[in-house]
Amino acid sequence: MDKENTYSLLLLLGLIVGAGMAAISIVEESNLTNYEWAAKIEDTTISMEKYLTQLEGLSKDKRSPITEQDKAYVLERMIEEELLIKRAIDLGMIENNPMARGTIVQQMIKTIISENDRYEISDQELKAFYEENKGFFTKSTRLRVQQIYFSNDGDGLGFERSMNAYDLLSAGEPLDEVYKLGDQSALKIPNTLMTLSKVREYIGPSLMNLANQLEVGSFTKPIEVPGGHKIIILLDKESLGAPDFLSIKDSVQAEFSKRRDDSSLRDYLENLKNWYDVSRNLPN
């Protein structure tokens, strides 16, 4: 596609976006008086307010006063734009062009959530939001864990061996000595503090949750896992407290605004489903 055709397509797509916003900014009821509309194209009306807004924009860009020729020029461009939009609709470009539809959807979403920008968030609201979601803003706990694995392969006595090791640990036997009783086939865990997500990569979510509930220096009873049994030992734990509100106020406000925008969009979409007649015909 040459540059001229590409430019024409982009221009047309931009005009199609206007079609998606037509119900908001251009189309008026057809029973407007002659003083309320500037032009009519079949059943679509270009409002006088819209026309005067465009004219005002031109006047700000011009150093000389607006002439009658300028007034006619602005109106003709608006009519041509509306004609292109109507033709694009007639050709099915909005229904069948994914790019055009996606552009319109994104523009509508921006329009819906832009109303929230007029609303100033108070410190009281932010503090209440922070208290309700303190866990979200708290950095992850870090754990230093080890595991002793007892395989059922060979003698099939993985559980018995794990219970023997558990009894020795309970009696105060040094970990290094008990660790020698386990099998070396288990995945070796780095002997360092790791985030919960990293611990989960080594021992899985259920064992990670158990480890997080342990006191430092304690260990689990033998836990059945595929192929054998494990004992999880918690060697160290770093529980980071919630940060001071003022130190992360900007982050709290950003998250507050994000969730508010998501809620506004969801409410608007639910209202749309009530405003329009929607029928569903899911296949069996």
Q: What pLDDT does 14 receive? A: 53
Is residue 74 exposed (0-12), middle (13-18) or buried (19+ Cβ within 10 Å)? buried
**Are both 69 and 109 inside the same structural domain?**
yes
Q: What is the pLDDT of residues 224-254, one digit of tens each?
A: 988 889 999 999 998 777 889 999 999 999 9
**Are both 75 and 146 inside the same structural domain?**
no
Q: What's the CATH code of the domain at 230?
A: 3.10.50.40
What residues contact residue 164 under an 8 Å CB cut-off, 6+ apart? 181
Q: What pLDDT does 250 receive? A: 94
Asked if residue 282 is part of any domain, the answer here is: no
Number of structural domains (the chain) is 3
**Are both 215 and 247 inside the same structural domain?**
no
Asked if residue 38 is part of any domain, the answer here is: yes
Give the domain extent around 160.
139-238
**Are both 96 and 131 inside the same structural domain?**
no
pTM above 0.75, yes or no: no
Asked if residue 206 is part of any domain, the answer here is: yes
**Are both 186 and 246 inside the same structural domain?**
no
**Are both 72 and 153 inside the same structural domain?**
no
Residues of the chain predicted below pLDDT 50: 1, 3-11, 15-33
Q: What pLDDT does 248 receive? A: 92
Asked if residue 280 is part of any domain, the answer here is: no
